[in-house]
């Protein structure tokens, strides 16, 4: 998105380096096959060190590694977060100019919403946002059950209020994933001033006299190349790779750089700190007398769905599958603190395959986690994965949020709209008590906890000396270098991160163009 705007509006030449391939894999563009895209060469999994908050189990976080990044492999849920999230960026974290009033116009100008309009939505932008297609009857029942459990119905999680249960809006329309690469970059690919280099590994930023002047990279064949920047270099490599690139370039904790033989340009202890992610633990029930999505990708069912999609452009494959959701205030503090994905299928335990039978999940996840981890260097080799300390549930408050989330999920499953289609509870299971003070629930959550694919915070934005970037996304202590991705968030937004990341990129373009 950022490269597209700069190529179209800056008058300068733009080079976009992507570590992964072009987004030509068919599974990327068919909405319902994002699970296949995640398992292919379009993503990689970053594995943490053994996490004591998960009883020594490592925390696995898949990341997009393809043109379009996470927007090319995610579940396509369009969720901006709460108004207060952005007001807190300004009020609690000192990020002036990042209130909800500041960012709403950016969201609106990006968006081409197929149903909703002002005052919260745009209808003239490039990012197509639409209602979920081919709504599944099991998901409809879960939404009805959530309302029966006391949540208000909603038809817009990005409107005046976020709380409620309903159908998500998604970045998929007419059977096509609406990724950042598809919506923003593809229309500009014919420009002579735009060069896109895929399968190129950025190794480090070359810094001379405290100014970023070039990027050292490796071609797909392993050759070393150098791209010189006349104006600026912007890192948009994500929460794991952006801090790694800064450290490989001499910007990071001096003791860690010394340990790996890297000369220190800027001693910046905040680089790699403040890692956090939304963490979930899905309540899972077997279905009886109703079918979910088990087996939909095999045999005659797969042939039927393929015919519907490729010939008639309708049916299951046009769907993002994760169609329903809910946002609930389980702590009684006046704003939702747990998000639920409501799905007619069930993933297995972390690291395990999906369950081999029809099931549903009511999946609670923390919205504003307090636990913090860190990204570091495992070595000075740019090809090596970073050193990752997740500390996923290190703060007791996050465990308590999931306790409340699991209790409400069980209550949703107990409502009348689901009574005649639910069988046994798979997780937490009949032997696990959700009463206050139950150690069996805590143990079960630690075993089941998993990423919601929203890592953030490792190049924190702020006005203070410990921040990695300032409020115009410029790296402190070095000229000509910015970071513009999820890593700059001082605190996670309450919900999915694809929309906020594109908003951050759009604001980065504003800053760069106005500073030119």
Q: How far apart (Å, rounded) are the C-alpha atoms in residues 66 and 72?
A: 7
338: preceding bond cis by omega (within 30 degrees): no
Measured in Å, how far apart are the chain's first and last C-alpha atoms? 18
Same structural domain for residues 194 and 283? no
For 408-464, the pLDDT digits (tens) are 999 999 999 999 999 999 999 999 998 887 778 999 999 999 999 999 999 999 999
Quick one: pLDDT at residue 415?
A: 98
Same structural domain for residues 269 and 299? no
Q: Which of 76, 36, 78 is nearest to 176 (CA)?
A: 76
Helix, strand, or coil (residue 397): helix
Tell me the two tokens of residue 38: 């995640």
Q: How far apart (Å, rounded) are the C-alpha atoms in residues 443 and 429?
A: 12
Q: At what angle do helices 83-91 and 100-110 cross, to 10 degrees?
A: 130
Looking up tokens 């939505």 gives 121
Specify burial of residue 263 (Cβ count, 10 A radius: 0-12, 13-18, 19+): exposed
Residue 233 neighbours by CB under 8 Å, 6+ apart = 205, 212, 214, 215, 480, 481, 482
Domain termination site, one of 412, 430, 451: 451
- % helix, strand, coil for the chain, step of 5: 30, 25, 45
Q: Which of 209, 214, 275, 266 is nearest to 241 (CA)?
A: 275
Please pick, among 29, 83, 363, 454, the residue that the annotation labels catalytic: 454
Same structural domain for residues 319 and 174? yes
Judge contact between 309 and 290, C-beta under 8 A: no
Q: What is the CATH number of the domain that holds 363?
A: 3.30.560.10
14-17 and 43-47 beta bridge pairing: unpaired
User: Distance from CA of residue 368 to its chain's centroid?
Assistant: 14
Same structural domain for residues 44 and 148? yes
Assess if residue 115 is contained within a domain: no
Cα angle: 159, vertex 409, 423; to 5 degrees: 130
- Give yes or no: 454 in active site: yes
Q: Which of 359, 498, 335 is nearest to 427 (CA)?
A: 359
Quick one: pLDDT at residue 40?
A: 78
Assess if residue 93 is contained within a domain: no
Quick one: pLDDT at residue 37?
A: 87
Same structural domain for residues 269 and 288? no
Same structural domain for residues 362 and 299? yes
Assess if residue 195 is contained within a domain: yes
Judge contact between 163 and 336, C-beta under 8 A: yes
Tell me the two tokens of residue 451: 């990423």
Half-sphere exposure of 393 (CA within 13 A, CB side): 30
Length of the chain: 516
Judge contact between 79 and 157, C-beta under 8 A: yes
Q: Greatest CA separation found in the chain?
A: 70
Helix, strand, or coil (residue 409): helix
Same structural domain for residues 13 and 46? no
Assess if residue 84 is contained within a domain: no
Helix, strand, or coil (residue 340): strand
Residue 209 neighbours by CB under 8 Å, 6+ apart = none
Assess if residue 269 is contained within a domain: yes
Q: Which residues of the chain have pLDDT under 50?
A: none
Q: How far apart (Å, rounded) are the C-alpha atoms in residues 500 and 197?
A: 25
Same structural domain for residues 424 and 487? no
Q: What is the CATH number of the domain that holds 466?
A: 3.50.50.60
Enclosing domain of residue 443: 26-60+123-179+279-451
Quick one: pLDDT at residue 435?
A: 84
Domain termination site, one of 400, 418, 451: 451
Assess if residue 419 is contained within a domain: yes
Domain tally, the chain: 2
Same structural domain for residues 289 and 428? yes
Q: Which residues pair with 205 in a beta bridge?
A: 215
Q: At what angle do helices 396-413 and 137-148 cross, to 10 degrees?
A: 110
Q: How far apart (Å, rounded) are the C-alpha atoms in residues 235 and 145?
A: 44
Q: How many CB atoms lie within 10 A of CB 5?
A: 20
Domain termination site, one of 403, 431, 451: 451
Q: How far apart (Å, rounded) are the C-alpha atoms in residues 278 and 254?
A: 30
Same structural domain for residues 348 and 490? no
Tell me the two tokens of residue 306: 């393929």
Same structural domain for residues 258 and 321? no
Backbone Cα Rg of the chain: 22
Assess if residue 108 is contained within a domain: no
For 216-251, the pLDDT digits (tens) are 999 999 999 999 999 999 999 999 999 999 999 999
Quick one: pLDDT at residue 43?
A: 95
Assess if residue 95 is contained within a domain: no
Q: How far apart (Å, rounded) are the C-alpha atoms in residues 95 and 406?
A: 34
Judge contact between 358 and 294, C-beta under 8 A: yes
Same structural domain for residues 156 and 143? yes
């Amino acid at each position: 998105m950022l490269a597209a705007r700069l190529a179209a509006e800056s008058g300068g030449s733009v080079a976009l380096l992507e570590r992964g391939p072009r987004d030509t894999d068919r599974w990327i563009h068919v909405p319902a096959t994002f699970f296949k895209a995640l398992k292919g060469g379009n993503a990689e999994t970053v594995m943490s060190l053994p996490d004591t908050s998960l009883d020594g189990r490592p925390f696995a976080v898949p990341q997009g590694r393809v043109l379009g990044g996470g927007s090319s492999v995610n579940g396509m849920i369009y969720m901006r977060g709460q108004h207060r999230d952005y007001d807190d960026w300004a009020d609690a974290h000192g990020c002036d100019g990042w209130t909800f009033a500041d960012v709403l116009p950016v969201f609106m100008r990006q968006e081409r919403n197929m149903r909703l309009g002002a005052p919260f939505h745009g209808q003239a932008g490039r990012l197509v946002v639409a209602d979920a297609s081919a709504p599944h009857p099991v998901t409809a029942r879960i939404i009805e059950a959530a309302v029966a459990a006391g949540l208000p119905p909603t038809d817009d999680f990005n409107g005046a209020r976020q709380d409620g249960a309903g159908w998500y809006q998604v970045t998929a329309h007419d059977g096509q994933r609406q990724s950042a690469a598809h919506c923003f970059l593809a229309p500009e690919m014919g420009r002579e001033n735009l060069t896109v280099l895929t399968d190129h590994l950025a190794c480090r930023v070359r810094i001379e006299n405290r100014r970023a002047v070039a990027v050292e990279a490796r071609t797909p064949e392993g050759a070393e190349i150098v791209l010189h920047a006349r104006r600026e270099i912007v890192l948009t490599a994500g929460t794991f790779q952006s801090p790694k690139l800064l450290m490989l370039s001499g910007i990071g904790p001096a003791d860690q750089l010394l340990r790996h033989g890297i000369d220190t340009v800027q001693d910046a202890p905040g680089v790699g700190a403040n890692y956090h992610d939304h963490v979930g633990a899905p309540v899972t029930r077997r279905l009886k007398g109703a079918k979910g999505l088990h087996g939909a990708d095999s045999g005659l069912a797969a042939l039927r769905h393929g015919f519907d999609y490729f010939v008639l452009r309708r049916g299951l494959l046009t769907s993002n599958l994760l169609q329903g959701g809910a946002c609930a205030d389980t702590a009684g503090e006046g704003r939702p603190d747990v998000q639920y994905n409501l799905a007619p299928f069930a993933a297995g335990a972390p690291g395990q395959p999906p369950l081999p039978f029809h099931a549903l999940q009511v999946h609670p996840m923390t919205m504003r986690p307090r636990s913090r981890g860190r990204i570091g260097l495992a070595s000075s080799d740019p090809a090596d994965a970073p050193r990752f300390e997740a500390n996923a549930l290190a703060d007791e408050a996050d465990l308590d949020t999931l306790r409340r989330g699991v209790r409400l999920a069980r209550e949703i499953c107990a409502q009348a709209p689901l009574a005649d289609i639910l069988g046994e509870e798979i997780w937490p299971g009949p032997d696990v008590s959700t009463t206050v003070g139950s150690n069996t629930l805590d143990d079960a959550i630690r075993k089941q906890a998993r990423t919601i694919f929203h890592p953030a915070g490792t190049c924190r934005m702020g006005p203070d000396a410990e921040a990695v970037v300032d409020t115009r996304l410029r790296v402190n202590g070095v000229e000509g270098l910015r970071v513009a991705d999820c890593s700059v968030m001082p605190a996670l937004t309450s919900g999915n991160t694809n929309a906020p990341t594109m908003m951050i990129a759009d604001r980065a373009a504003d800053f760069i163009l106005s500073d030119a």
